Amino acid sequence: MRILLTRPINDSHRIERQLGQSKVDVYIDPLMQIKSLNVLKNDPLDCQALVFTSANGVRVYCKETQKCPLPIYVVGDNTRVAALKAGLKTVISADGDVKKLCATIILKLNPYDGPLLYLTGKHVAGTLKKDLEDANFQVNHQKIYTAVAAQKISISTKNLLKQRAIDYIPFYSPRSARIFRQLIEAEGINNLLSEASALCISHEVRKEILSLGWKSILTAKEPTQNSIFELINIKL
């Protein structure tokens, strides 16, 4: 089995390590590069908790500020691991689902105990901020990094596609799927995907790549990484 990972480089290497016990050949061609915006404004100590929906947000935050004693609420285990490795202490994970993250925060925190500091990238999917505000929380949303889109598919990836040497390409967000589609269409190599299958974390992601000439498109039952790889009988 041959898999092409297109997540930012740190995320792709992490997934590669997780796949190490499986009989999988892994190739990496990041579609985005993470860059700090250097604009962290809110003092975390003015808030009752920090909220992250990506490991990249945790990494950028921990590079820009001192470690925070406040509780940290994160979307899933990958973000939890990044937070613990960065030295953050009280980390509560919602098992990879933004809706579960919202429900967990509402269950465990009181909106009248202070605002939440929600730290994300420039491009944010989902409605977490609105959903929390609907539950009477004050949410200070700070965009602290951006994911800069790649300008082209690498030569090595194009060669792998020409050789029909890629079986699966997982996609984790509508934006990454859209970038991939745009680059493939710009290169005029749609026909090279006829032996590759897309693994989509959601139906929104699936919609972005429907026009490409895949062998098949598989969609995860739940919006988690584990659910993506369960599509091809891999347990991470």
Average pLDDT, consecutive stretches of 10 residues, N- to C-terminus, the chain (236 residues): 95 92 92 88 78 91 78 89 86 86 95 94 88 96 94 96 97 95 95 96 96 96 91 91
Bridge partners, 33 (sequence order): 148
* Domains of the chain (ranges, CATH numbers): 2-31+149-230 (3.40.50.10090), 39-147 (3.40.50.10090)
Assigned token pair, 156: 């090595």
pTM above 0.85, yes or no: no
Assigned token pair, 206: 């699936």
CA dihedral 86, 10, 102, 110 (to 10 degrees): 20
Give me the pLDDT at residue 43, please.
Answer: 64
User: Is the dihedral angle over the CA atoms 166, 168, 171, 174 positive or is it negative?
Assistant: positive
How many other CB atoms are found less than 10 A from the CB of residue 155? 9
Are 5 and 26 a contacting pair, CB within 8 Å?
yes
Are 195 and 202 a contacting pair, CB within 8 Å?
no
Assigned token pair, 120: 């994300």
Give me the pLDDT at residue 187, please.
Answer: 94
Give me the pLDDT at residue 42, please.
Answer: 58
Give me the pLDDT at residue 76, please.
Answer: 83
Give me the pLDDT at residue 68, please.
Answer: 75
Assigned token pair, 44: 């975390």
* Euclidean distance between CA atoms 18 and 102, whole angstroms: 27
